[in-house]
Structure 1
Amino acid sequence: MTVTTLTSREFNQDTSGAKKAAAKGPVFITDRGRPTHVLLTIEDYMRLSQADVSLADALAQPDADFDFELPRMGSLIKPADLD
């Protein structure tokens, strides 16, 4: 599975390219650098939206291919703003 990230401008300029990329995996669309939307094929959407599929079941599927990196703890810890 390929994950693609496009800015909203790139998405607007090449919608057909975004659809082709969605056939290979999710397409994250960003607005001002933050993900705001995800483009999926209808098959992927239907598979993910099934209420009776748990995360464990989704990961156990034969075609499951997930890249996942845990964030470093330093990026999660922020000093308190006491002002």
Structure 2
Amino acid sequence: MNIHTFSSRDFTRDVSAAKRAAGDGPVFITDRGRPAFALLKIDDYYRIAGQSKPSLLDVMDGIPGGGAVEFDPPRLNLQLKGATFEGA
């Protein structure tokens, strides 16, 4: 694992480079020469925080106001037939 450092100015100029570097290890973003922020892959963050990666349902449950939405889809009436193979 490598640690990369970007100045605030370099980070602002090339966010993509910082994101690529974060794939290799943490990226420290400095402000006036002193570390001010850290950029991590989300999996690394969850590992450090001792959390598991949230499921899509967890994310959707966290959306404000989402509880008031009612969802009652119409029932589909499908009739399935078996496949027939004729001739060879």
Q: TM-score, normalised by structure 2?
A: 0.56
Taking the aligned partners of 1:41 and 1:4, their CA distance within structure 2 comes to 13
Taking the aligned partners of 1:42 and 1:6, their CA distance within structure 2 comes to 19
1:23 corresponds to which residue? 23
Gaps of 5+ in 2: 52-88
Q: How far 1:9 moved relative to its partner? A: 0.3
CA RMSD of aligned residues (A): 0.9
Gaps of 5+ in 1: 52-83
Taking the aligned partners of 1:11 and 1:44, their CA distance within structure 2 comes to 20
Q: Which amino acid aligns with 2:32?
A: R
Q: How far 1:38 moved relative to its partner? A: 0.2
Point out 4+ residue stretches in structure 1 off by more than 6 angstroms: none
Taking the aligned partners of 2:23 and 2:14, their CA distance within structure 1 comes to 15
1:29-81 CA-partner distances (Å, limit 9, x unpaired) = 00001000000000000000017xxxxxxxxxxxxxxxxxxxxxxxxxxxxxx
Bigger Rg over Cα? 2
Taking the aligned partners of 2:18 and 2:33, their CA distance within structure 1 comes to 17
Count of residues paired in the alignment: 51
Q: Which amino acid aligns with 2:33?
A: G
2:39 corresponds to which residue? 39
Taking the aligned partners of 2:35 and 2:7, their CA distance within structure 1 comes to 9
